[in-house]
Amino acid sequence: MKSFYEHLKDFLRENVRDYAMFIALLAIMLVFAILSGGDFLLPVNISNLVDQTGYIAVLSIGETLIIVIRHIDLSVGFLSGFLGAIAAILMQFHHFSAFTAILIVLILGTLAGLLNGSMVAYLRIPAFVATLAGWLAYRGALLLATKGPGTIIITNKTFNAIGNDFIPDIPFLQNFMPGFHKLTILIGIIGVVFIVYFSLKNRNEQARRGFDVIPWDMFLIKMVFISGLLLYLTFTLARYRGISWTFVIVLIVTAVYSFITNRTVLGRHIYAVGGNPEAAALSGIDVNKITLIVFASMGFLSGLSGVLFASRLQSATTTAGTLFELYAIAGAFIGGVSASGGVGKVVNSLIGAFVMTTLTNGMNLLGVDISLQYIILGLVLAAAVIFDVATRSRGK
């Protein structure tokens, strides 16, 4: 019978790709906490960090699936900025409601994604070229949309609440735990219970079917680690103003895409296409259809990202979307997505996005020169890719 140390060594070796970014994120946060004298971990900064990650996180989730099927989408940054400007124009100049403007933007984003997917799937244009053309076109479209005023100020309170407001608290518990947002704590505890319950259920199902499962000691350590991290975030946010609407949206997107990729036929087909497109086609999977769906999904999430960013700034600007695509792609790679396709998890890419924004937030807090910031971000991305290649080579 193996010892605890042997179980731990085997667990880390077999799951190094999945947990490396969690360890890296914690290490980065610890370093910034020490260098900033604790300011980095203040509730207000953690809350700002979560909101800053929102519009990049949804793009990273979309890019994860794009990279899984062995493609890339460079157009998402300025598509996001352009669609945010469209939402602003619809509300400010044509008096559309926030709901209608958002719905139109999401539809337009999906159509843009279908256009990219059609060029890649049916015209056989390399995704890099097709989406680079989109990058240029949407950059020009954004400049045209904001050409007159330069910056379009958004005054719609409902729309602006998405990027700046927080969920309400429980009104009849005002005297209980003063200084804490009670509904946030309740949601966090429920979240921990659900994670532990479904993780335990999944482990038992795998064991009943004869699959190899992680030992009980490693399972308990995993649950304690995840639960502790989630509860820390929960109580930190609860000490400020609670969970923001931006974070709610990110959590919903993450949950939906995790379910699709892990629990549906579509998700299995996406990974099959990424693993071996030729074999997937021979097995009856419509590779072109999967490509269309994934690119359409990316366009939809670009529209959502544009809404989150424009709402947070309460305006649409000529520079909206700049470098979004690079941060999103970097978040996906840091999260463990393989450049060779077929490998990548939505939740891990969310953590990868947090790594990118944590680095930016921490360096801004410390007053690091912008030139050094870009160099450090580049080194982190290079290290993530090197790590991906090294772990894949060792696994062969």
**3-state SS string for 247-298:** HHHHHHHHHHHHHHHHHCHHHHHHHHHHHCHHHHHHCCCCHHHHHHHHHHHH
Give, for all 396 residues of the chain, the pLDDT tens digit: 566 676 666 666 666 666 777 888 888 999 999 999 999 999 999 999 999 999 999 999 999 999 999 999 999 999 999 999 999 999 999 999 999 999 999 999 999 999 999 999 999 999 999 999 999 999 999 999 998 778 999 999 999 999 999 999 988 877 888 889 999 999 999 999 999 999 899 888 888 888 877 788 788 888 998 899 899 999 999 999 999 999 999 999 999 999 999 989 999 999 999 999 999 999 999 999 999 999 999 999 999 999 999 999 999 999 999 999 999 999 998 888 888 888 889 999 999 999 999 999 999 999 999 999 999 988 888 887 777 667 665 554
φ and ψ at 153, to 5 degrees? -75, 130
- Spell 181-209 as b/e; 16+ CB within 10 A means b: bbbbbebbeebbeeeeeeeeeebeeeeee
Give the whole-angstrom CA distance, residue 242 versus residue 169.
8
Report the pLDDT value the prediction gives residue 1, as an integer from 0 to 100.
56
Beta strand 152-153 with 315-316 is: antiparallel
Rg of the chain on CA atoms, in Å: 22
Q: What is the pTM of this model?
A: 0.92
φ and ψ at 152, to 5 degrees? -100, 110
Give the whole-angstrom CA distance, residue 305 versus residue 336.
22
Report the pLDDT value the prediction gives residue 393, as an integer from 0 to 100.
57
CB atoms within 10 A of CB 107: 13
